[in-house]
Every structure is written in structure tokens, then in C-alpha cells.
Amino acid sequence: MFNNLRRYRSSRRIKIWNTGAPYKCHLVYLSSNNENHQKINFEDNANIKPSSIKNKVSEFLINLIKQETKLLADALIIRESEIPENNRVTNDVVFEVEYSKLDTKIKEDMERTADTYNKLVLILTYSPIVIHPLIYINFVNHVTTSLQNDTKKMILRRLAYHRKFEECWKIALNSIETLNDVDEYIETMTDELKQNNNLAFGIFELLSACDKIVSNPSLKHTIIETICHSNDLDKDTFFTSLEYKNELDNFETLDALENAKAKYSRSTNPYFRLLYFKRRIELALTADTNCIKSVQVQAAVKDILQNKEIVERQGWISSILSSSYVECLNNDINLIQDAYSISEKPESLFFEHFFEEYSKYGYIRVNDYDFLHILQYLKPKHIKATYLLYKMSFNMNSSQLNSHIINYLTRMILTTKDVDVMTTNIVDSYNLINDDILTSSLVAIFKNSKEHFKLIANKIKGSKGNTNKSKILADFINKIAFNKEENQISFDSLMYILKCFNKSDLASEIVLTLLPKMRKAEIDQNISISFYMYIIQNIRVSSYVLVEMARNFLLKERIFDEKLITEFLSTLLHRVWNKEQIMKRNNREKQSDDFQELFKLASKKERARFHNRIRALGQTLSLLETKETAMVFNTLYKFIFSNSFQFVASDYGKKYIVDSLIEETMRFINKANKETPKAGIIKMRDLLGELCFDSRSVQCALYKYMVEDDPMKCIKLLHTYENNKSYLTNDVMRSIMSGILHSPRLNDKEKLHLFKYFRTELLNLNFKSTIHPSTAVELLNLVISIAEKDPIKSIDSMGWVLDFANKKRIPKSIIAKFARRLKLHQDSLPLSIRKAIINDLDKYK
């Protein structure tokens, strides 16, 4: 009955064929263990519904499979216990050898993992190309708990990848409990064969292993039928392949095999012919002399390669050399390893002739596991052709290529210094190559061919998937620029690199990498000036990078070349604001001052960027010696107010730029001298004396920080210039008042009190000075700060703030912020008072 089972692909269920009239019998399952034979009774009941009979039969079949599986597992355990101790020790030694070859990171991860089960789960997560199958098997054998289903399936996948099909069936049989398990495990293993392009020949070897390992005829039959049906393989073809293999194994000499050559080598089935060539190679490798052996292997290899139907199917090398030991790739791809030396193993002769012939045949294809075989015997002179073979096997589709193999090949290509292959490899497989190997390749290519380097630069610029581009280029620059003398390259070469990456963010990254090295290297100043000028004039780097460059050549290298400084400022301003783009936003025919128009049309982000870059440059200038700062200011002032300055034409715009830069510089000088304010004031005073132009901005900053340090000086200044009132201009007065409002020597109420006293004294001495809107904002911030701390005592101030702000034409957005701040403290006021001011506050929502 069991042999009459048929599997239906669509329903995945078992159909029970009609057995005629109901009957009663006793079935006894016989096994090698004669004790406790179970009897399964089928009762004679003609009224039982067909579905019930099917259920009972299904239950019988499942129990039968469970029993046979358990007995098989027990038998395997018994056989294992009968293995001599010295064999088990040998296996352990091999495991230790293979485990020691693992990448350091993998071993470290394994050491941090708690137990054997979790170690097994962890080792399964790595690419199987870097893990020897014996490591999987060893961990499986030492796991004491039952494996989860997902873990079992992953083990099957890993072992199927390594073509350890017998081990696959041993593990599967130990886990099969239902027919669904059979389906699931078969699907897992065959899917792995498909994923690794190993189905054409691998399916026969999977079936052969099943035939050898599965001892129950019924279960074996079910498995073979399932595999054949789901892969469109005639089971009779498979059984014929077994007969072929047995017959071929009986041939013990090459002469005997050649006499029967016609039957096997002319078969219409490629796998049958492959079995013939496999046996032919095995026998050729056993020849008495090396000379005869070489001739026979050469002839066999040539015949195989001419057999298109075999070698165009991936997996053919692995099938022919299935008994050969395969070395897994070292996952430590940071190590630049030499190619494997040609082994003394017999298989080396196969590949020696393979390498001589295979480039003649364009139809040869291999899969990853074939390639593992090839890599073990690859000579440097064959690297180019081998690389092309691998790429052609996947139709140049880089998404199907194995990153470990590509990295290994790239290391080997590096040893050949073949720039053409190196470049082709990087352009085609850029996203698969490890950063360190890619960096080494870039160095080698750059030193040998600038044109090839340009091709790779274009590839890197256009690449969107790699997020490590900046790091790769930084490492590349570190290896070639200002390194050891023998590796150092010229500034012309550095400029060429920048040119290759121009008009991309990577150009900025390269410049930032170079700047620290410029500081450390002892470089002639003229060369440095030329280098900076080239970048400023020819390379599109960000405004941030331009400021960093200025910080470098002004602060670190102390370069004060006038042309460099003026060219830098002009480029910086144009990089901060794209004038053409901004002016396109203007719809009015009549335009006001060009800078004011730019400022109005610029977005909030663009304005912020302008002030941020000016601020950063001011910070740089504040760190120079006083005479050096004055030298830069004199150079910039002369340039900005000359016809050479093209950024803006109006005096207002030019003055705004100069004043903004001076104010930021003074602010940073004051900030750097917080502990000793008088030192900062002295530096500002000395700077004012070194300037070649009249700078009200420096004067204003000087007075502001003098009053901040000594608030009562504001009154002294009024009396000092009582008879020379024109000296205390509105700008100076504004700076003095700002000094009062920001003085760290006073608390908020003292500031407000001194401010009122200053204003009273100012009017008493007949000075004419109004409160500027910016000063009004500072004053209102102070008043609100006081009101927030004590709202009940500051009710009058709350109402006054908004009225005063409105009269001073302070922007409504700022007034609205004041209103929101005041409203936050309404709840702390008595209800009657809160109602009195709430209407005023609502006007400024």
C-alpha cells in the first residue's frame, strides 16, 4: 500500500488509492530489533466512512515514519559509538584546524557567545563561503537541546551549499516527524541548490545521497518521487544515473574505461557524460608516471571543455571534483594575501591544464563553489582570464556576484599590477569591494595611470549606495600624500585628484583631509599659496571648507598673501550666496541698493549661512596677532572698496560686509578674554591704531566692551566728550547702551537703573541720541526678564513693553515673541489685574 502513494503537486496531500472492500488485518513492522514489534489493527467495519479510513491510514503512515526515523537515528548513534576513539580525535583535530582559520572577528564573536547552541546559530549567520562545513557539523553534534525548525533549515542550507548532501539527509532524518517535514526539508535543500546555481548536477548528487543514507524503501521512494516531480526530473533517469555510476566505478584502469567509452561519453544526458569524465579524471590521476598522468589529464580536460552541454552548466567543476578538499576563503579581507601556491594534491594537475585551455571557450560558466576550487590553484598569470570567467558566469550582473570572491580576486589582481583589470573590476563591482582593498587599489591605479584613476573617480562620484566614500578617499589621501618619502606625490598630482572629484561633495572631503597634512608637512610657502589658489579658483568646494582653508593658511601656516586673501573672500561670498539664483526671485523692475535687494530676497537659511561664515572667519581673525589681524583687515578693506570687488557695488553693501566681519572679530576677541577683559580691550585698542582706514565698528566695539567691564565709564564718557559731542555718534551711543545692558558686573535691575540714569544724564548734557530699534530690543528683553522673575511687581512694565516696542517700529514678529513671553506669567497675577492687561497682550498674538 505504501508503495502506491502518489504525490500531487497542487494539493501537497497524499492520495490513498481504492483497496476494494473493507477488510481486517494485522500489520507487523519488522526491523533489525526483533523485540516489541507493534501491531496496528484495522477493524472490519463496512460502515466506516471513506474519510475516516483515510485518516486512520494517514495516522498509520505518520507513525510508521516516526518509528523508522527513530530506529535509524538510534542506529546512527550506535554506529557512532562504535567509531574508534582515534577517529573521533582526528575529527576534533581537523575541526580545531579549520576553526583556527576563521576570521578573527568571527572567533571573537563566538567567544562572546554563551553556549554551543547559540554558537551554532551565530556561525550560521555568516556567509558559508568563509565557514568550513566541518565546523557546522561539529557544533550540530555537540548541541544537547533540540534544534528549532528555522535553525535546522539553515543548517541544511549551509551543508547543501558545501555539497555535504549525506550530512543533510542525516540531519533531516533525525528531524522528520510528518510528511510535511519531508516536503519542507526537500524544498529547503533544492532551493539552496537553485540559489547557488547548482541545480543542474547538484540535484543528482542530492538524490544519490538520499539513496545511500535513507534505509527505509518507502520513505526513500517518497523522497525521490517528490524531488523528481518538483524539479521536472524523470525518476527513471536518476535511477539510470545510479547504474551508470556503479558501472563506471567498476572500471579500475583508464584503458578499460576507454574501451567502453562509446556508451558513456555519447550519452544524450549531460550528467551521464559528466560521470564518465569524472571517472576518467580519477583514473588519469592514478597513472604511474607524472608524464603519463599529465598527458592523460590534459586530454581529459580538453575533452571536457569541448563538451559544451556540460561546462555551460554551473556546478560542473564541483561535481567532477566532488571528493576534493576545498579551502574556504579567509574572511579577513583586510589582509592582502598572496595567491594560493599550487598544491601538491593530484587535482592541481587538472587545473594546470584547465588554465591553459579554458580561455579558448567562451561558453564556460561556473558557480561560486566551482570558483572556490579554481582559487586554490590560480596562478597570477591567469588572474585576468579567471576574473572575466567569473563575471561572464553571471552575465556581468554584479548583484549576483559574491562579495568575498570579488574581494579575494581584487587582492590577487593587486599582486599583478594589471591596471586595466583593476579598473574594470572596480568600475563593475565597486559596491562589493571592501574599503581597505578598494583604497589599496586606488593607490596602485593612481600611481600607474591617471586616466584609469579618472574613470574610477567618475564611478565613485556617481555611486549612490556606498556611504563610506568619504572614508575611502580619506584613507587614499593618507596613503599617498605627505606620507613616507618614497610614497609622497607631487602637488600637481594632488591637484589632479581634486580635479577628478570636482563638482561633488567629495572634493570638499578631500580638501578637509589634506589640510591637517599641509600643516604638518614642511612645504615651501609658494607651493602652498599655489595649492590654495588652485582650489579657490578651480575646485567647487563648500563655503565651510573655504573658511577651514582660511583658518589653515592664516592661523597654521601664517600666509598673508594679498592675492590669496582677496581671492578667498570673493569666492567665499559667491559660494555663500548664489546671486543669480537669488535675484531671479525679484519681480520688480525697479531695484533698490543691490546688497539690500539681495538680503531681502535671500531665504532665512541663506541669510543664516552668510552670517555663520562671516562669524567663522571673524573667529579665525580674532586668533591672529594684532598686527596680523590688522594686516588682513587692511587688505580686505582695500579690496572691497576697489573696482575689483564684484560681489556688490553699493557702498552700503560693502560697508555691511566689512562692519559685520569686524564686529564678529571684536566679539571673539572679547570672548577669548572673559577672564581678563582689559587684555581684550587693549588688543582692540591696538588694532584700531594699526588700521589704515577709519573704522567706526572697531571704535563701537571698543566702547561697548569697555562699558561692559566698567559700567560707570558710560557716565565718564558723556562728561569727557561733553564739549566734543560729534565724537559720540549714534553708533557709538548705541554701543555704549548695549554695553550697559549686557554688563556682567550688574544684575538685571542694576542694568535697568544705570540705563535710565545714563539716558537722563545724556539729555541733561544736551546730547542728541535716540534709542535704536536694536537697542530697544535689548532693553525690552531686559525688562521682560525682570518681569518674569517678579510679575506682580512688574505689572506696569508689562504694559509699557508692548507700547514702547510698537513706537520703536520693532518688527511685529519680535513683538509677538515678547507678548508670548509675557502671557506665560499671567496666571501668577491676581485675576483683576490680569483682566486689565489681557486685552493689550491679545493685540500682539
Complete DSSP assignment for 628-677? HHHHHHHHHHHHHTSTT--S--SHHHHHHHHHHHHHHHHHHHHHHTSSSH
* pLDDT for position 340: 44
pLDDT of 812 over the 80 cut? no
Above pLDDT 90, what percent of the chain? 50
* pLDDT for position 86: 45
> Is the pLDDT higher at 189 or at 781?
189
* 20-34, 333-347, 603-617: segment of lowest average pLDDT: 20-34
* pLDDT for position 345: 72
Q: What is the pLDDT of residues 428-451, one digit of tens each?
A: 888 889 888 999 999 999 989 999
Nearest partner of 25 among 47, 42, 46, 3, judged by Cα:
42
Q: What is the pLDDT of residues 583-593, one digit of tens each?
A: 888 776 555 66
Q: What is the pLDDT of residues 628-671, one digit of tens each?
A: 999 999 999 999 999 999 999 999 999 999 999 999 999 999 99
Helix-strand-coil split of the chain, %, nearest 5: 70, 0, 30
* pLDDT for position 780: 81
Within a 10 A sphere around the Cβ of 79, how many other Cβ atoms?
9
Within a 10 A sphere around the Cβ of 732, how many other Cβ atoms?
19
Joined grid coordinates for residue 759: 539716558
Q: What is the pLDDT of residues 209-255, one digit of tens each?
A: 999 999 999 999 999 999 999 999 999 999 999 999 999 999 999 98
Q: What is the pLDDT of residues 678-735, one digit of tens each?
A: 999 999 999 999 999 988 899 999 999 999 999 999 999 999 999 998 889 999 999 9
Q: What is the pLDDT of residues 354-403, one digit of tens each?
A: 999 998 999 999 999 999 999 888 888 888 889 989 988 987 666 788 88
Joined grid coordinates for residue 319: 561535481
Which residues make Cβ contacts (< 8 Å) with residue 325, sequence separation at least 6? 345
Q: What is the pLDDT of residues 546-563, one digit of tens each?
A: 999 999 999 999 999 999
Within a 10 A sphere around the Cβ of 670, how many other Cβ atoms?
22
Task: Look up the pTM and report it.
Answer: 0.72
Q: What is the pLDDT of residues 2-55, one digit of tens each?
A: 343 333 333 333 333 333 333 333 333 333 333 333 332 323 333 333 344 445
Q: Give the angle subtended at the CA of 198 by the CAs of 174 and 166, to the nearest 5°.
A: 25
Strands 25-28 and 14-15: unpaired
DSSP 40: E
